[in-house]
Amino acid sequence: MTPAERNSFARDLFTPLPARYDALAEMLSFGQNRRWRRAMVDAVTAVPAGLALDVATGTAGVAVQIARRTPLRVVGVDLTEAMLRQGRRAVAGSGLDGRVVLVAGRAEQLPFPDASFDALTFTYLLRYVADPQATLAELARVVRPGGVVASLEFCVPPRRPWRAAWWLYTRLALPAAGLAGGGTQWLRVGRFLGPSISAHYRRYPLDWTVRAWHAAGLMDVEVRLMSLGGGLVMRGTRSGG
């Protein structure tokens, strides 16, 4: 797909989901999504002050958590207006209107000057962009030297028994659970998710991803596989500090 086609696909996939997105994300991941998000945000809690950018912010769950756990002000960016509307309701309900601002934008072309942010997070992003390497470079561009970058992505369990169980869950149980919990739109997500993750890591395996972070100007890159390899949390520091 071209970048524009990938953006359009992501909008179409996520536009019907916001009302039940957070509850179903936790249910379908058996609560692991919450653990993974917290582990990612742990990486930015040492940043003493300043401004954070949360890319692919969705319903603002990560942006709200950053604002609650750190002194940082947070800008959240997402492609899908429906997700942003739900996110703004979540921000208002959390009493964080003065700390969190949500804007529409593309990860591949962020509407911010170089070195604008002291920390950056992104969640479940790289499978939806046409060029992950170029997108990582764009994310790093807006982070000041010495700033922290952290990410959360799905992953494929590296050990064969867990990988087999993961394959069965993502191909069979996940679509059925999505249909039962969220209707046909979540059935579509359930059918898409497992094959999408597998295809991504066939093309961009974990060692490639680490090299891509380095090539984007990020150093001291750390990798943490969680939940037997179903979740991947990474962190790094913008070089030049």
The answer to whether the pTM exceeds 0.85 is yes
CB 139 within 8 A of CB 110: yes
Contacts of 59 (CB under 8 A, 6+ apart): 18, 21, 22, 83, 86, 87, 90
pLDDT at 14: 74
- Give the helix, strand, coil percentages of the chain, each rounded to 5: 50, 20, 25
CB 241 within 8 A of CB 146: yes
pLDDT at 71: 96
Task: Count Cβ atoms below 10 Å from residue 102 Cβ, excluding itself.
Answer: 24
3-state SS assignment for residue 111: coil
Angle at CA of residue 23, ends 19 and 27, nearest 5°: 140
Taking only the tens place, the pLDDT of each residue in 96-118 is: 998 999 999 999 999 999 999 99
CATH 3.50.50.60 corresponds to the domain 3-157+205-238: no
Taking only the tens place, the pLDDT of each residue in 139-163 is: 999 999 999 999 999 999 999 999 9
Spans in the chain with pLDDT lower than 70 = 1, 17-18, 241
